[in-house]
Amino acid sequence: MRRSISTLLGVTAAAGIVALGVPALASPAAASTTTKPKASAHVDDWGPIYARNGLASAKGFVRDEWIRRGRTNLVTVSGRLTDRDFRTFRRGGKCAYVSFQVRRLGSWRWQSGPSYTWCGADKPPRYFSFTRNHVRAVKARVCQVDRRGGSPFACSGYRTVYWARR
């Protein structure tokens, strides 16, 4: 008997809370005071970009988010690097290589950005991502490189993957 009364009181209290609380949260006035405006973000794809000999490629997405009332931005470049050279290293096989350059807002100079290397045509592509702030533009080029490093060769020209829209 005691258990059924406490269960009945608990169900009644829960029903009262739902009946009184949910309409207040569902009203437009309550919803507008609890939500914050989000920064505008734009996502676009880039590539594929191939090395000059076609044995390496990269493609991906770029996401820009304008913050501080549109005065600056946060740009994230992500993608995958694919090695398409199926030769063994003994027979002259090389690795895929992608390098980026970044131009800041208010500047006309290109600064070197990150670079990524991937060896393994028989493996899945390598995924990469980097984030920079206060960015005007980003460009990328794809090359091949020896597995021990050295200078890249068979490079494509630099291709623009992002240009600020504001």
In contact, 59 and 79? CB cutoff 8 Å: yes
Indicate the residue type of 14: A
Report the alpha-carbon distance of residue 140 to residue 160 in Å, rounded.
Answer: 6
For β-strands 126-133 and 110-118, DSSP reports them as: unpaired
Q: Which has the higher per-residue pLDDT, 65 or 3? A: 65
φ and ψ at residue 67, rounded to 5 degrees: -125, 175
The pLDDT tens digits of the residues spanning 88-98 come to 988 999 999 99
Report the alpha-carbon distance of residue 58 to residue 127 in Å, rounded.
Answer: 10
Report the alpha-carbon distance of residue 50 to residue 23 in Å, rounded.
Answer: 57
The pLDDT tens digits of the residues spanning 48-75 come to 999 999 999 999 999 999 998 889 999 9
In contact, 72 and 133? CB cutoff 8 Å: yes
Report the alpha-carbon distance of residue 75 to residue 137 in Å, rounded.
Answer: 9
Counting residues of the chain whose pLDDT is more than 70, the rounded percentage is 75
93's tokens: 């096989």
